Amino acid sequence: MGTVFSTNSYLQYKNDFELVIRATKDLEHLLETQFGAPNGKTVGLHDKITHAEQTAGLSNDTVRKMRRLVTIRNRMVHEHGFNALPDRTQFAKSYDSVEQELKDVLKNRNGSSCVIC
């Protein structure tokens, strides 16, 4: 999963469910492997964001964007009538922005030794 993703690679998915699930899986993996967020079936993605926020000092803007992505994911998965992204390009760009912001935090914290940068 050390692949660098871009908005174009996420927009290749024609199905909104696949786009949302793949992006949030990558976010979850990033939070677990690079920010030490706990993993397991009882730890939700919002909890992982909280962990990264507290331990890495993420900006409020980055945290807000991550929570918005996860909320959309939760709605797609759990709400019967929510079956399409309101704006798929914006979702992909928002994920891309979050990913870059997290990589920047890692670069600043670790110098240039970031595994995913």
Segment 9-19, tens digit of pLDDT: 676 777 999 99
Alpha helices by DSSP H, listed for 12-85, are 16-35, 45-56, 60-78
Angle between helices 60-78 and 88-110 (to 10 degrees): 140
Residue 1 located in a structural domain: no
Mean pLDDT of the chain: 86
Residue 116 located in a structural domain: no
What pTM, to 2 d.p., does this model score? 0.82
Separation CA 68–CA 62 (nearest Å): 10
Confidence band, pLDDT 50/70/90 cuts, at residue 112:
low
Residue 39 located in a structural domain: yes
Segment 57-103, tens digit of pLDDT: 899 999 999 999 999 999 999 999 999 999 999 999 999 999 999 99
- Residue 13 is part of a domain; what is its CATH number? 1.20.120
Separation CA 37–CA 29 (nearest Å): 9
Residue 18 located in a structural domain: yes
Confidence band, pLDDT 50/70/90 cuts, at residue 40:
confident
- Of the candidates 44, 29, 41, 37, the residue with the CA atom closest to the CA atom of residue 95: 29
Q: Which domain holds residue 77?
A: 7-110
Q: How many structural domains does the chain have?
A: 1
Query: Is residue 51 a contact partner of residue 31, using CB atoms and an 8 Å limit?
Result: yes
